[in-house]
C-alpha cells in the first residue's frame, strides 16, 4: 500500500533558526509540532497548524503516522543517544533531519548507524542565516536518496528557489550535506575577508568616504560580482544608528570571532593535502584580528608612521577598477579552492557529491549566493570531470585579464602596510599553480641533505642521495 505523503514536521530546538524554519514550514501549509526545553520559546509561535509539546516524550502521541523531524540544535547538543531517543518515539517510517552545523563525519556515521537499525536519517546543511530560514534557505541534503525522496515535497516548498528551481538539493550520500555546507563556510570566510580587504584599501586610500565605498560596492551588483555578501556589505558600510553622526561600522570592534566550521575546512584540507591558501588566510585573518592587545603593542613599535595611499582623481578611478578586478579574482579563486576540496573529499570519503547539484543549491538563499555561480553551473554541466577550475577556457581568459590590475592593487597595499591576506594568498596560489619549475627541488634536496629522505631526479628514475 502506498503511504500518504508526510505532512507533519516536528521542529526540535526553537532558537532563532528553528523558530524561523518552523514559521517557514507553517507558511507552506504543513503542520508543525514544536519542541524546545525553554517554555517561552515553545509558546512564541501562534498558528492554527502549530502545536507545541512540553516534553520530548510527548512526541509519542504523534506516532500514528510518519513525520519529518528537524533537529535545529547546536551541533554539541546533538548526540547519537539523543537521536535514538527521538527515533524511538516516532512512527518507524519517519525521517530525522539534522539541520544544524554538525561535522560531516558525525553525519556519515549517523546515517549508517541508524540505517542499520532501519531508521532514516538525513544530514542537511542549511545556509542563509535567520532570514533564510524564514524566507527560504539553501539546503544541502545528504543521506540515503529514498529518505530524501520521502521529503522532497517539503524541501522543495521550504527551500529557496532560483528561476523556479529549488535550492534545496540532494547533493550526495551520507554526510555529503554537512560536508558541502562545511566547504560553503570556507568559501564564505574567504569572500567575507576579500570584501573586507577591498573596503580597507579604499578606506585607507583617503579618497573615499564610507558612503562612496558603499555606492561603489552597490554599483558592482550589475556585474559578475552581484552577490549577497557584497549587497549586505554595502548596506553595513553606509549604516548609521539613529541620532548618531558617525557610521556604525566605526563603532564595531575589529576582532572577528568564529564558531568553528571554517576551521574544520582548513583542518580537513590539511588532512587531505589540498591547497586552499585563500580560505586558510581568511581563517587566520580572524585569528590575527582577535589579539588586539598584541596588535596595539606591535603597532606602537612598527607602524607609528602610518602611510595612507595617495590618490588623485585619476587614481581614484583606477583604485575602483583594480579593486573590482581583485574582488572578482578572489571570487574565482575562492570557489576554485572550495570546489577542488569538494572533489577530493568526495572521492576520499565516498560521498558521491554531485557538483552541479551543489551549485544549484548555492544559486539562492545561501550566504555565498552570487551571480558567478550561474557561470560555474554552466561550466560543470558541460564538463563534470573538470580537474580544476583554472583549466576551463572562459575562466582562463577572465583570470588572464584580471590578474594585472589585481597584482597592482596587492603590491600597492603591501607597500602601504595594508594586510591583504586572502588576496595575496590567492595570487600566490594562482602563481604557484602556473609555475612549471617550482622551488620544490631545493626543498627535496634540503630534506635529503639533513635527513637522508632521498630525492627524485628529472633525468633518471629512482631515489638518490647527496
Ligand atoms: C550560513 C552561515 C552560518 C554560519 C554561522 C556562524 O550559511 O548561514 O554559514 O551557518 O555557520 O553564521 O559562522 P561563523 O563561523 O563565522 O561563526
Mean pLDDT on 361-381: 98
Residue 102 near ligand 1, beta carbon < 6 Å: no
- The rounded Å distance from CA 24 to ligand 1 centre is 20
185 - beta bridge partners? none
Full-prediction pTM beyond 0.85? yes
Q: Whose CA is nearest to atom 9 of ligand 1?
A: 185
The strands making up 120-127's β-sheet, listed across from edge to edge, are: 50-52, 31-35, 8-12, 68-71, 95-98, 120-127, 138-143, 168-172
pLDDT band of 232, cuts 50, 70, 90: very high
The rounded mean pLDDT for the chain is: 95
pLDDT of 321 strictly over 60: yes
Supply the pLDDT for residue 314: 56
Over residues 78-91, the mean pLDDT reads 96
In the predicted model, is pLDDT for residue 319 greater than 80? yes
pLDDT recorded at residue 1: 57
What are the beta bridge partners of residue 370? Answer: 227
pLDDT of residue 397: 98
Instruction: Please tell me if the CB atom of residue 367 comes closer than 6 angstroms to any atom of ligand 1.
Output: yes
Inform me whether the pLDDT recorded for 448 exceeds 90: yes
Ligand 1 atom 12 nearest Cα: 129
Task: Kindly state the percentage of the chain with pLDDT values over 90.
Answer: 92
**Could you tell me if the CB of 129 is within 6 A of ligand 1?**
yes
What was the pLDDT predicted at 245?
85
Candidates 159, 157, 87; CA nearest to 125 is: 159
Reported as a pLDDT band with limits 50, 70 and 90, residue 315 is confident
pLDDT tens digits along 286-302: 999 999 999 999 999 98
The catalytic residue among 19, 150, 181, 203 is 181
Q: State the pLDDT confidence band at 2, using cuts at 50, 70 and 90.
A: low
Cβ contact 159:137 at 8 Å: yes
Is ligand 1 within 6 A of the CB of residue 15? no
Rounded Cα distance between 206 and 319, Å, is: 11
Residue nearest atom 14 in ligand 1 by C-alpha distance: 258
Atom of ligand 1 nearest to the CA of 286: 16
Asked if 122 and 131 touch (Cβ cutoff 8 Å), the reply is no
DSSP 288-316: HHH-HHHHHHHHHHH-SS-------HHHH
CA nearest ligand 1 atom 7, residue: 127
Sign for the CA dihedral angle at 201, 207, 209, 211 comes to negative
Ligand 1 within 6 A of CB of 297 = no
pLDDT category of residue 416 using cuts at 50, 70 and 90: confident
pLDDT recorded at residue 304: 61
Q: Is 205 in the pocket of ligand 1 (CB under 6 A)?
A: no
CA–CA dist 24, 190 (Å, integer): 30
* Cβ–Cβ under 8 Å, residues 112 and 135: no
Q: Which three cell numbers stand for residue 269?
A: 584540507
- Tell me if 259 CB under 6 Å of ligand 1: yes
Per-residue pLDDT tens digits for 130-170: 999 999 999 999 999 999 999 999 999 999 999 999 999 99
Instruction: Give the pLDDT mean for 446-453.
Output: 97
Q: Residue 72 pLDDT more than 80?
A: yes
pLDDT at 162: 97
Contact 127, 111 (CB under 8 A): no
Give 185 Cα–ligand 1 centroid separation in angstroms.
Answer: 7
Which of 21, 138, 184, 188 most suits a substitution to test ligand 1, by most atoms within 8 Å of the C-beta?
188
CB 184 within 8 A of CB 367: yes
Angle among Cα 289, 291, 295 to the nearest 5 degrees reads: 85
Q: Is the CB of 47 under 6 A from ligand 1?
A: no
Catalytic-residue membership of 157: no
- What is the reported pLDDT for 206? 81
| 456 among known catalytic residues | no
Q: Which of the four pLDDT bands, split at 50, 70 and 90, describes residue 305?
A: low
Handedness of CA 18, 24, 27, 29 (dihedral sign): negative
User: Among the listed ranges 123-132, 232-241, 243-252, 374-383, which one has the minimum average pLDDT value?
Assistant: 243-252
Q: Which of 41, 188, 324, 392 is catalytic?
A: 188
Note the pLDDT tens digit of each residue in 180-227: 999 999 999 999 999 999 999 999 988 899 999 999 999 999 998 999
Amino acid at each position: 500500500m502506498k503511504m500518504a505523503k508526510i505532512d507533519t514536521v516536528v521542529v526540535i530546538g526553537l532558537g532563532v533558526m528553528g523558530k524561523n524554519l518552523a514559521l517557514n514550514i507553517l507558511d507552506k501549509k504543513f503542520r508543525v509540532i514544536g519542541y524546545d526545553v525553554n517554555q517561552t520559546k515553545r509558546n512564541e509561535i501562534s498558528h492554527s497548524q502549530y502545536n507545541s509539546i512540553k516534553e520530548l516524550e510527548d512526541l509519542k502521541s504523534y506516532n500514528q503516522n510518519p513525520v519529518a523531524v528537524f533537529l535545529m540544535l547546536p551541533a554539541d547538543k546533538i548526540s547519537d543517544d539523543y537521536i535514538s531517543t527521538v527515533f524511538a518515539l516516532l512512527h518507524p517510517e519517519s525521517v530525522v533531519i539534522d539541520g544544524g552545523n554538525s561535522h560531516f563525519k558525525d553525519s556519515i556515521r549517523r546515517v549508517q548507524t541508524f540505517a542499520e537499525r532501519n531508521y532514516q536519517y538525513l544530514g542537511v546543511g542549511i545556509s542563509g542565516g535567520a532570514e533564510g530560514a524564514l524566507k527560504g534557505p539553501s539546503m544541502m541534503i545528504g543521506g540515503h536518496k529514498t529518505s530524501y525522496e520521502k521529503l522532497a515535497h517539503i524541501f522543495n516548498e521550504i527551500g529557496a528557489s532560483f528561476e523556479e528551481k529549488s535550492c534545496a538539493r540532494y547533493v550526495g550520500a551520507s554526510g555529503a550535506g554537512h560536508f558541502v555546507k562545511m566547504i560553503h563556510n570556507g568559501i564564505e570566510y574567504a569572500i567575507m575577508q576579500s570584501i573586507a580587504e577591498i573596503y580597507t584599501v579604499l578606506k585607507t586610500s583617503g579618497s573615499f568616504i564610507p558612503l562612496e565605498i558603499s555606492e561603489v560596492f552597490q554599483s558592482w551588483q550589475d556585474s559578475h560580482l552581484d552577490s549577497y555578501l557584497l549587497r549586505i556589505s554595502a548596506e553595513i558600510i553606509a549604516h548609521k544608528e539613529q541620532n548618531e553622526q558617525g557610521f556604525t561600522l566605526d563603532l564595531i570592534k575589529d576582532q572577528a570571532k568564529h564558531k568553528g566550521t571554517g576551521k574544520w575546512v582548513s583542518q580537513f584540507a590539511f588532512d587531505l593535502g589540498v591547497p586552499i591558501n585563500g580560505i586558510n588566510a581568511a581563517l587566520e585573518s580572524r585569528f590575527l584580528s582577535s589579539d588586539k592587545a598584541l596588535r596595539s603593542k606591535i603597532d606602537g613599535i612598527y607602524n607609528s608612521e602610518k602611510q595612507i595611499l595617495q590618490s588623485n582623481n585619476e587614481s581614484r578611478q583606477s583604485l575602483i577598477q583594480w579593486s573590482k578586478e581583485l574582488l572578482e579574482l578572489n571570487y574565482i579563486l575562492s570557489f576554485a579552492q572550495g570546489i577542488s576540496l569538494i572533489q577530493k573529499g568526495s572521492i576520499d570519503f565516498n560521498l558521491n557529491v554531485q557538483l552541479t547539484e551543489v551549485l544549484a543549491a548555492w544559486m539562492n538563499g545561501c550566504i555565498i549566493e552570487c551571480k558567478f555561480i550561474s557561470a560555474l553551473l554552466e561550466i560543470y554541466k558541460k564538463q563534470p570531470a573538470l580537474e580544476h577550475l583554472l583549466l576551463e577556457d572562459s575562466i582562463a581568459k577572465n583570470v588572464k585579464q584580471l590578474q594585472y590590475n589585481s597584482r597592482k592593487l596587492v603590491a600597492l597595499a603591501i607597500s602601504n602596510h595594508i594586510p591583504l591576506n586572502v588576496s595575496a594568498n590567492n595570487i600566490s596560489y594562482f602563481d604557484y599553480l602556473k609555475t612549471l619549475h617550482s622551488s620544490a627541488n631545493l626543498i627535496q634536496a634540503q630534506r635529503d641533505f639533513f635527513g637522508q629522505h632521498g630525492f627524485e631526479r628529472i633525468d633518471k628514475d629512482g631515489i638518490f642521495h647527496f
